Structure 1
């Protein structure tokens, strides 16, 4: 397994956050991966994503949002989060200029990445990857977080569980369909927002994760030609 290297990422020349850089010897692409609102880059779920992608020839740059770096439980304002996304993308490009670049994240991190891309395109990024895109808050189904996706002129990959309480399926599917051919939705039956499945399904969480990682690697490979 490729070991992650701890790095520092400068933001706007005035602030900095920590990052974890993981490049396997056979890397063919790089994903800049942002964490969710409640857990940082070193959380076991983030490590599992990074390790699994590295095993599939994808370099990964994980990074902290400034609030997480400070130990705050309140997520950053969008503008602050967007600046961190841009700094991390620039750092990944500096470290691996030979690798095709993708960006995205888990839940909140994916949404902040798509918002940043919608406002001003992220330099060099070929597509966005969402691990459990948070379409709405839990218990408050809506599509108010979706309009900015129409301003993202890149391929989009949504990896979602059918029991995700932050992305009700009957709302998410029409949103993705409206985005047209550039959007791909991959579903895991009975998985929740954390990609957990009940034992009664006969599957394990690791099965869900492996399927999503394979789908991600294949999707990236299809966009490298």
Structure 2
């Protein structure tokens, strides 16, 4: 497989493209071209995140635009982001958006305190390399829950667990190093 040509990073539901973790990851993977994106609701100044069909359509458009700007196709791009953003990227790939891999930071496996409301239906349709970086006390999914459900992904999965909750507070350097290290193996 050729080296990835670029990385698209998306924020969690309450953040923007300028979230400190995304900025740290962009710096860590340099000189790999990176595009940090906002979703349509954020661009429009709204607080409520887009429904998946809107977010996935936006990702398709932005991935095609970024790939064209790099003179390549979306199957050479890594897609990912924090929480909601990573989930939307994983859904886009599961629904057929060609990609080189997924970078899923603090993946929201289920709402906090509601482990019965899993967001995993699409995982078996993913057949690209996947990196999952999460905190060991993440209320959106424990390391054991994440490992159990990531087993449904058909592509190779790398799980990295860091000390912390969903925000993995104060661990931007470690998150960024995990992403850069994984990207170097592709």
| TM-score class normalised by the smaller sequence | 0.7 to 0.9
Contact kept, 8 Å, 1:176 with 1:184, in 2: the verdict is no
Once superposed, what is the RMSD of the aligned Cα atoms? 2.1
TM-score normalised to structure 1 length: 0.74
Shift in Å, 1:47? 2.3
Q: Greater CA radius of gyration, 1 or 2?
A: 1
What residue number does 2:180 align with? 217
Please tell me whether residue 115 in structure 1 is matched to residue 88 in structure 2.
no
Q: Which protein is richer in strand relative to its size?
A: 1
SS at match of 2:53: helix
Q: Per-residue displacement from partner, 1:151-192 (whole Å, max 9, x unpaired)?
A: 01111110111011111223112112343661110111x211
Q: Secondary structure at the match of 1:147?
A: coil
Query: Taking CA–CA contacts closer than 8 Å with sequence separation of 6 or more, which of the two structures ends up with the larger relative contact order?
Result: 2
Is there any run of 5+ residues in structure 1 with no aligned partner, and where?
A: 1-26, 197-204
1:51 to 17, 22, 27: 27
Residue segments in structure 2 that go unaligned for 5+ positions in a row: none
Q: Pick from 123, 126, 132: which aligns with 2:100?
A: 126
1:141 paired residue number: 115
Q: CA–CA distance in 1 between the matches of 2:157 and 2:24?
A: 25
Matches within 5 A, 1:88-99: 88-97=62-71
State yes or no: 1:151 paired with 2:114: no
Q: How big is the shift at 1:216?
A: 1.6
- Aligned partners of 1:174, 1:114: CA distance in 2, in Å? 17
Distance 1:156 1:111 in 2: 12
- Runs of 4+ residues deviating >4 angstroms: none
Aligned match of 1:176 in 145, 150, 163?
150
Tell me the TM-score normalized by structure 2: 0.88
Which residue of structure 2 aligns with residue 202 of structure 1? none
Aligned residues: 182
State whether structure 2 residue 157 is matched by structure 1 residue 191. Answer: no
Report the Cα offset of residue 34 of structure 1. Answer: 1.1
Which secondary structure state, in structure 2, belongs to the residue aligned with residue 82 of structure 1?
Answer: helix
